[in-house]
Amino acid sequence: MLLTLHIIKIDSGDYRAHVMEGTQHLGHYDAVSIREAILLAAENPLPDLAGFHLWYEHVCAGSVTAGEMRDDSDGLAEKLLELFRKFPPQ
């Protein structure tokens, strides 16, 4: 199973992460950074969870495993920010 983690910025140091299965909203939580949101999602993987489609605002870093999220949360957060800068909202 692949879930979607969609992180949005509320304000500086205030992010909300939504966990989705298709169009079904499974829950959300607040974090102080993109990195923290990634780590929080990776902490409680379901037994049949293959990974997450990882989004920040309107950009996607692709599909990643929970292990990758735990091991490289800094790199994934930076990748999302680079994509966001490369493709700014219109």
CA dist., res. 37 & res. 6, Å (int):
9
Is domain 2-86 classified as CATH 1.10.287?
no
- pLDDT tens for each residue of the chain, 90 residues long: 899 999 999 999 999 999 999 999 999 999 999 999 999 999 876 778 889 999 999 999 999 999 999 999 999 999 999 999 999 988
What does residue 27 show for φ and ψ, rounded to 5 degrees?
155, 175
